[in-house]
Amino acid sequence: MKKFDWLISVVAGVVFLFLSSWYISLPGLNYDESLCAAPAVNFVVDDPKSEPTQINPSVIYLFGRPIPMMLMTYIGPVKTILYIPIFWILDVSVFTVRLLPLIIMFLCFPLAYYLFKEIFNREVAIFTVFLMSVDPSIVFYLTRDVGPATLQVFFKLLALMFFIKWWELKKNIFLYLGFFVLGLGVTHKVDFLWVIVGMIIPVTIFYFGKLKERLNIKVLMFSGLFFAIGAFPIILFNIYTGGYTFSPMTDKFLSSKLPSDAYFLSNLITRANQIIEIHNGNFIAFLFCEKNVYDGFWKYIHLIFLSISIFSILFYLIIKNKPKNFLNILAIVVYILIVTIETCFSPTVLSGHHLLALTPFITVVIVYAILSMKYLKNAAKYFVLIFLMIYLLYSSIRINVIFEETGGAGHWSNSVYELNDYLKKENKTIGALDWGYTNNLIVLSKSQFKIKRLYTSVWKNVDVNNYIKENLSDSIIYLAYSEKYTTFPVVKNVFFETAKEAGYDIILEKEFYQGSGEVVHRVFKLKKD
């Protein structure tokens, strides 16, 4: 970077920090958002009472304290390890849970600026980082890190930086570091393989001729070794379990239920809609608060910009006088297409956070396409990009206002804070009758009370009736979502049936409401008839 160039990315990062931390405690702390934080809480507190989401055989002990090497079959310990020093120094709170993704995303701004300045130019880099700073998908979706996807964006940009350094300085250590970072990305979450495949294909198509002059068997072997070191926990887990990370994909593809991988065209349409709704803010506002930012014509503005950009790049394909660095933008477009197609084949649901693997490449495609339009004067190009920036800025400000108005909705409602205060006073064992009640309560309570996840009987190889019956007691407080937000109604229904059969009266002890006045949480107690 030139002298003081780093200030540009810092200013953009500060704008991002302001918008994303405006109401940092809103919406309410979510179960998935707390997934990687909960094991770190159990590591730093004395005598934790609850067990977070983790694969128990993978738990190791450091200084007599537990830390899982695998949280789920496809999520490793990277983010959990990063949380430990933060919780130890600053204590456990909603602020510190959300502080880590804020720091990670802030670091992405100088990385993105460096990357796009090197492969395009300074002008493209400046507009890209400032559009990133107001983009709702970055300001909110990556900082309320439900994916968890923030580290995936960081690892992708960091690896690309190392690869560029390797190419410029001709030092293989940078190549090896890049592959190590890619391995860390896979350890963090296995769907980072989408990113890696998305990189390999355009690199092979457009740059193989140049790369083969710099690569040999020894270099490739060391690159593979560094990748394996970064991905070691995932590799070891799959060797031990016979590929258990990937086996659900087969079942999903053969499923006749939507979203099934067999319904590719339907999934692709869903993904295309999600891309637009995520960037204009509607997807995020609805996910967190069940509101929209834009309606009518205005919600299509980002789609219009993206469509114009894609058509411009397609036009450049058929003309001889192509813009400078056109091959690089073409490689990024191919990456976007490949990753979008890959996300249509998911072993889980078609979640919007999968598409954060495209961050910030959709933004740079728009910036490059507009700045490369030869029939527009510079003033007109800048006006168009500033208009888009204002559009996204309004969306981010509007989402903050919606946060204040609603406090979040459903599984994101801030009523979870009131619920946690109530449970700490009761200080009893909690019986969670539905998904969404473990990791967030472990974080909020600092693992002060025991939580039994009764809803896991749905996917465990156990009889649900017997499992619930064995956990009926007047010394347990039972938690359930209201009907609107219930994920596994069968567990709650079985609870009511078996409790009555066992001679208990079911007492609705307390209800907790979200900003709209709707009930979110219900607390039940049992009393012998």
| Each residue's pLDDT tens digit, 80-90 | 999 999 999 99
CA-to-CA dists, residue 220 to 96, 156, 175, 180, angstroms: 40, 19, 10, 13
What pLDDT, on a 0 to 100 scale, did the predictor assign at position 241? 85
- With 50 as the cut, is the pLDDT of residue 460 above it? yes
Distance (Å, whole) CA 309 – CA 328: 15
Q: Which tokens is 164 given?
A: 């560029």
Domain ranges of the chain: 5-406, 413-528
Nearest of 334, 359, 346, 336 to residue 267 by alpha carbon: 346
- pLDDT above 90 covers a percentage of the chain that reads 75
Is residue 65 classed as helix, strand or coil in its secondary structure?
strand
Average pLDDT (352-381) is: 93
pLDDT for res 323: 86
Give me the mean pLDDT over the 362-366 stretch: 97
Widest pairwise Cα distance in the chain: 85
Residue-wise pLDDT tens digits, 209-243: 888 888 899 999 999 999 999 999 999 999 988 88
Residue 434 near residue 488 (C-beta atoms within 8 A): yes
25, with CB counted inside 10 A (0-12, 13-18, 19+), is middle
Q: What is the pLDDT of residue 374?
A: 84
CB atoms within 10 A of CB 310: 15
pLDDT at 256: 47
Q: What is the pLDDT of residues 390-425, one digit of tens each?
A: 999 999 999 999 999 999 999 999 999 999 999 999
Cα–Cα distance for residue pair 248/374, rounded to 1 Å: 49
What count of other Cβ atoms lies within 10 Å of the Cβ of residue 302? 25
What are the pLDDT digits (tens) for 18-61? 999 999 999 999 999 999 999 999 999 988 999 888 888 888 88
